[in-house]
A and B are shown apart, each in its own frame.
Chain A
Amino acid sequence: MAVMTHAEALVEAIRECMDEDPNVALVWGSLMGVGGNNEHVDHIKADFADRIFHPPISEAAIAAVATGAAMDGVRTIFPMGTASFMFRAWDQIIHEAGAAHYMSNGAVSIPVVFHVVHGLRGGGSVQHSQSPQSMLWNAPGIEIAMPSCPADAKGLMRTAIKSNNPTVFIDHQKLNKRSSEVPDGSYDIPFGVADIKREGGDVTIVAASLQVVHALEAAETLSTGGIEVEIVDLRSLVPLDEEAILASVGKTGRLLVVDEAPPLCSVASEVIATVAEKGMDLLKTPPVRVNRLPVHVPANVVLEDYVGPNTDRIIEAAKLLCH
């Protein structure tokens, strides 16, 4: 096992897939967002120069060009940068990439990866802090991956590239430079398989992306107070591992869902609705969601932290659930 950053693991997956399959292409955008995370991509740039395309600032056109190329089997990875920018290409992602397979009665498939960096990044203000996962989840035909650690980022990115569906791969600016162990060699992590990041018997926390990191921090503190948390890292929203969620809730009887999108019609809403429909009898107490507050993201980092889900709010909510 090697220790690498989230960004390095992601690039490793892209490099492997470009090596394995000459049909994989990369749009040269801000793969890791701004702020000096792009040094890892230099060797890809050199090795696969003929399959890398430098983009103008044209999200809508590039999303649809990648979609059109996918119809002929070209697997394009399109890093769109800050997730806020993908709204520019909403039509192309929702109506073209997400719908072509259905509209062709299954004749056409769209193997394309839209990579975005979501969430509160520290001063991103209103137009650079979006978490579009729940909006995307509302659209049929799109797979959604949300890794929380380098090892998962690598395996999930490989799956995203090989998938015959359009995938939105949602990363987080604050994950890019975090590092941990990544298994050696090539491996895929299938979508729809959640990972239990921590076992515990008192309360289930369902989360994805950076909120798994926050939940793990909260769990340490809660453990010292006698509350043992089980953390279900969804890893992908589409498909959703309902079984893993229900199994954990069956074990703990308490459910807390943490999500960086605002609460209304959010990932937390959907997970709780699923448990209400399929496991109401498993719950000892009403479930709780910890979301970004239902407001825009202010530029001030103190206020940004206040509106976001964070470790303290998770701890507070878990304590309330358990007492």
Chain B
Amino acid sequence: MDKGRLLDIFRHMMLIRRFEEAVYDFHEQKLFGGHYHLYIGQEATGAAVMASLRGEDRIFSTHRNHGHLIARGVDPKNALAEILNRADGTNGGRGGTFHLADASAGMPHTSALVGGSVPLAAGAGFAAKLQKSGGIGVSMFGDGCFEEGVVFETLNLARMWALPVIFVCENNTPGAVLKSAGGNNTSNLPEGRVIQIPEALGMECHEVDGGDAEAVDSLFADCATRVRETGQPIFIEALTERWPGNYFSFPSRVTGITQVSMAWDGSSIAGEYEDWFRNHDPVLRFARQLLDRGVANSGDVAGIDVEVTETIEAAKEFALSSPVPGTDSVYAHVLAGEG
């Protein structure tokens, strides 16, 4: 057991949680417009996956990308500035919440089209194979992507061409509780499960509890090593209990601001979302694991929270003071070699 590694994963999860809470506030304050998506509830998967990736690897995310960038180590200042569409944003303010990307962090482009990023990640695997870079492509995507034909085409191609890619499907379709409360499925299959599709193509497939950071870490680390050795693609289905705030068309912070003390003091846990706090919230789950295993004590956990909260406060200030890009900037970079 590598205590430092586990604490690092937890720190990233906590950072994502505080980041997304800040994004929610910004939207409530109408500091950015339009539709948006939060990664709350899926932190364990993103943070654990990134723990095994290297500089030469390429990661492609989706409309629900914030957590992936933060876990990869992109500075929350620039990520938050991008969500506010400011000049210091990761994309210079022109991408916005749907398209956060950072080529310098190995995340060159984020498609908001359902399934759009999946073949791009296979493309990164193709390039790595051709250039013998030792890197791999990683596609982070939701279960809804299986409704798009291009995802099947990509899985088939990755097998046929033996591309070093890991497909990480973060399945956040609601459990029975949310369905009865009116939540929509995020993917529709007449029967069976999405994992059977890559299985039918003979791809190595795994499923894991996406809310269990340590389980995701140990599986993904093993898979990353094997993909680097064999060059063959692997599919992972991370089963995630969807955050109750994510089953409306816009996020709703129904579970409030996360109190990490719930990890060691259950006395304040009650009400409609008790089950979420006790059994599903991945940040609280991992904090409890760290405490139970003696990796950290409650003071350590609270200390990490204080530290990341300060980071996010500074990032908020930075983002809010970053300028709106000048109107002339709209002409830059339509074609390479210009602007």
Contacts and interface: CB of A to CB of B under 8 A. Distances in A.
Interface of A: 34-36, 54, 56-58, 60-61, 84-85, 88, 121-128, 293-296, 298-303, 306-307
B112 A125 contact: yes
Interface in B300-339: 324-325, 327, 329-331, 334
Given A34-B249, A122-B34, A299 B148 contact: no
B168 to A, nearest CB: 19
Given A127-B113, A298-B325, A299-B85, A293 B330 contact: yes
A58 B144 CA distance: 10
B54 interface: no
Interface of B: 32-35, 85-86, 91, 93-99, 111-116, 144-145, 147-149, 187-188, 249, 324-325, 327, 329-331, 334
Contacts, number: 99
A313 B97 CA distance: 28
Contact of A123 (B32, B114, B116, B148): B32
22 contacts: A35-B35, A57-B114, A57-B115, A60-B149, A84-B113, A88-B113, A121-B34, A122-B33, A123-B35, A124-B34, A125-B99, A126-B99, A127-B113, A128-B112, A293-B331, A298-B85, A298-B330, A299-B95, A299-B96, A299-B97, A300-B93, A303-B85
A109 to B, nearest CB: 27
A85 B145 CA distance: 14
B66 to A, nearest CB: 14
Given A88-B113, A295-B330, A300-B96, A56 B147 contact: yes
A108 to B, nearest CB: 24
Contact of A127 (B111, B144, B329, B331): B111
Given A122-B34, A303-B94, 14 more contacts: A34-B249, A35-B35, A54-B188, A56-B188, A57-B115, A123-B35, A125-B95, A126-B95, A127-B116, A294-B334, A295-B330, A298-B93, A300-B85, A302-B324
A123 B327 contact: no
Contacts of A54: 188
A303 B325 contact: yes
Nearest to A36: B249
In terms of DSSP, what is the predominant structure of the interface of chain B?
A: loop
A123 B35 CA distance: 8
B334 A123 contact: no
B99 A123 contact: no
Nearest to B145: A57
Contact of A58 (B111, B116, B148): B148
B33 A301 contact: yes
A303 B112 contact: no
Contact of A295 (B91, B99, B334): B334
| Chain A to chain B: the 10 pairs with minimum beta-carbon distance, closest first | A299-B96, A123-B34, A300-B85, A56-B147, A123-B33, A298-B94, A57-B147, A306-B327, A125-B96, A56-B188
A61 B151 CA distance: 14
Contacts of B147: 56-58
A87 to B, nearest CB: 9
Contacts of A300: 85-86, 93-94, 96, 324-325
Contacts of A125: 34, 94-96, 98-99, 112
A127 B110 CA distance: 11
Contacts of B32: 123
Contact of B329 (A58, A122, A126, A303): A303
Nearest to A300: B85
Contacts of B95: 125-126, 299
A57 B331 contact: no
Nearest to A121: B34
B35 A34 contact: yes
B95 to A, nearest CB: 6
Nearest to A58: B147
